Structure 1
Amino acid sequence: MNQNRREHRQGQAVVRGKLVPTSTHDQRLLARQGPSDWVHMDPWRVLRIQAEFVEGFGQLAEMPPAVTVFGSARTRPDSEEYELGRALGRKLAQAGYAVITGGGPGVMESANRGASEVEGAMSVGLGIELPFEQRMNDYVDLGIEFRYFFVRKTMFVKYSCGFITLPGGFGTLDELFEALTLVQTGKVTSFPVVLMGSEFWGGLLDWIKSSLLSTGKIASQDLDLITVTDDVDEAVRIIADADVARSQQRMDESEAAAVQTAEPQ
């Protein structure tokens, strides 16, 4: 058997050699078709998209409270950032949280690795089909491969108590600002967003203050949506405090609803 043949993940399938496609499902979905071609193609894609949602919801529904860790796939295993991610994954697991990452190498691997070192912890990877293959790292207990970014993003938000973001590139920034937008617009509540690495993120925060806040593009309270720290213990505490606050809010709402129901009409 030829061990050098190209290999590619397609959802639950693996294809090799001449069956490896030249484009991804996302690329084909977003490509402009002819005037009427989309009528014959896109409606059928909805069924595949629906199947991805069903698969993700089914696999993750019984997962314990979880935290998503984002960061660069290019972080080297011998770097300080890798060790930071590993320590963070371990601390989150010790605090009772499952750890979710994108399932790839670098920071993702380090957080999954840290979680896997805690007995009874759950280490999750939500992978994505890319033009260049990126295998699921070896420290994932539950790995799910997605074709579509927007389905994967839904899983990150739906099953997480918060996001902790380590240094990363465009993909990391994409996830970071999407999370901030969801919190800012009230689509998710009591959802902390923590940036780890003050030296790395400092320039971005300065730009947000000088270019966005100073020109009225955001409000001053929007800065409170972001917490920057270099301390793993503080990052985990921020997540845990928000989790407690969210639970208390639900209890208060339930009690208020019970009182309102009990009152004579």
Structure 2
Amino acid sequence: MKQNRRERRQGQSLVRGDFVRDSTYDQRLLDRQGPAEWLHMDPWRVMRIQAEFVEGFGQLAELPPAVTVFGSARTPTDSPEYETGVAVGRALAEAGYAVITGGGPGCMEAANRGAKEAGGVSVGLGIELPFEQRMNDYVDLGIEFRYFFVRKTMFVKYACGFVALPGGFGTLDELFEALTLVQTKKVTSFPVVLVGTRFWSGMVDWIRDTLQATGKISPHDLDLISVTDDVAETVKIIADADRLRAGRLAEEEQAVANTVADAQ
């Protein structure tokens, strides 16, 4: 048998060797095509996209309260950042939260490992990439997605907080998308915690000294971000926001009940 063949996860499928195409589903979806080719392809893609949403919703709907943790896939297992990721995952699990990551290696693996070793729920949401990135061994529930935007929906929909460990473009993409959702109130009481002051301080300074200083964001938008090196503080920020949201929901439900009672 030929060894070291290319392989790639594609949703629920695993393909190897000559079956691995040179492009991904996301790339083919976003590429500009001929004048009429989309008539034959894109409507069918909608069905596949719908199926991914249905699969994700079905698998994740019964999760306990969860926190999404992002960070670099390139973080070595013997690094302080990996150790921090394990500590974050463990502390979140001990506080009663499921831990959701991208399911890959590095910081993602670290957070999943911490959650699993603490007896918590460890979730990985993988994605088809041009280079194979297998689901790490510490994931209890793993789902493979073809499309980034479906996966991103799952990261946010089933989480009550977002923790960013040091990472690259992917981490920054998810971080700023989360911040945009909070800023525009598409999600409420959603804390965003950056763990690693030395790594993140330059970016936070630029946000304050450039974006805020030139009026690109409002002064209170900086309050959407918390930066810390303390794992216990990370969990406290998320738990406090979670309790605040629960209190607001209870007040809203009571107000509705009072309105119904008055109407009767």
Corresponding residue number in structure 2 for 1:174: 173
Partner of 1:212: 211
Match in the other structure for 1:73: 73
2:12 maps to a residue whose letter is Q
Give the SS at the match of 2:203: helix
CA shift at 1:122, angstroms? 0.6
1:201 aligns with 2:200: yes
Q: CA offsets, 1:230-255, max 9 Å, x none?
A: 00000000110111011100000000
Give the drift of 1:37.
1.2
CA distance in 1, matches of 2:8, 2:157: 28
C-alpha separation in 1, matches of 2:2 and 2:63? 39
Shift of 1:264: 3.8
Deviations 1:137-188 (A, max 9, x none): 0000000000000000000000001100010000000000000000000000
Partner of 2:144: 145
What amino acid is the match of 2:40? Answer: H
CA distance in 2, matches of 1:5, 1:43: 33
SS at match of 1:113: helix
- Partner deviation per Cα, 1:84-112 (whole Å, 9 max, x = no partner): 00000000000000000000000000000
> Match for residue 13 of structure 1?
13
More displaced 10-residue stretch of structure 1: 52-61 or 35-44: 35-44
Query: Structure 2: how far apart are the matches of 1:87 and 1:16?
Result: 36
Distance (Å, rounded) in 1 between the aligned partners of 2:2 and 2:34: 39
How far apart, in 2, do the equivalents of 1:4 and 1:222 lie?
49
> CA–CA distance in 1 between the matches of 2:165 and 2:179?
15
- Alignment TM-score, normalising by the size of structure 1: 0.98
Look up the match of 2:254: 255
Q: Is there any run of 5+ residues in structure 2 with no aligned partner, and where?
A: none
Equivalent in the alignment of 1:63: 63
Q: For this pair of structures, how many residues does the alignment match?
A: 264
Alignment of 1:226-265 (within 5 A): 226-264=225-263
Aligned pair 1:25/2:59, yes or no? no
Amino acid at match of 1:55: E
Residues in 2 aligned to 1:117 and 1:25: alpha-carbon distance in whole angstroms = 34
By how many angstroms is 1:3 displaced?
A: 2.6
1:111 equivalent in structure 2: 111
Q: Is the 8 A contact 2:8 2:129 kept in 1?
A: no
Query: Residue deviations 1:124-144, cap 9 Å, x none?
Result: 000000001100000000000
Letter in 2 for 1:115: A
Structure 1 moving runs of 4+ over 4 Å:
none
CA shift, 1:63, in A, is 0.7
Distance 1:102 1:264 in 2: 48
Distance 2:106 2:173 in 1: 17
TM-score by length of 2: 0.99
CA distance in 2, matches of 1:28, 1:84: 37
Gaps of 5+ in 1: none
Inter-partner Cα distance in structure 2 for 1:10 and 1:165 = 26
- Aligned-pair identity in percent equals 74
In structure 2, distance between residues paired with 1:4 and 1:166: 32
Trace 1:27-106 onto structure 2 (pairs within 5 A).
27-106=27-106
Alpha-carbon distance between aligned partners in 1 of 2:146 and 2:13, rounded to the nearest angstrom: 11
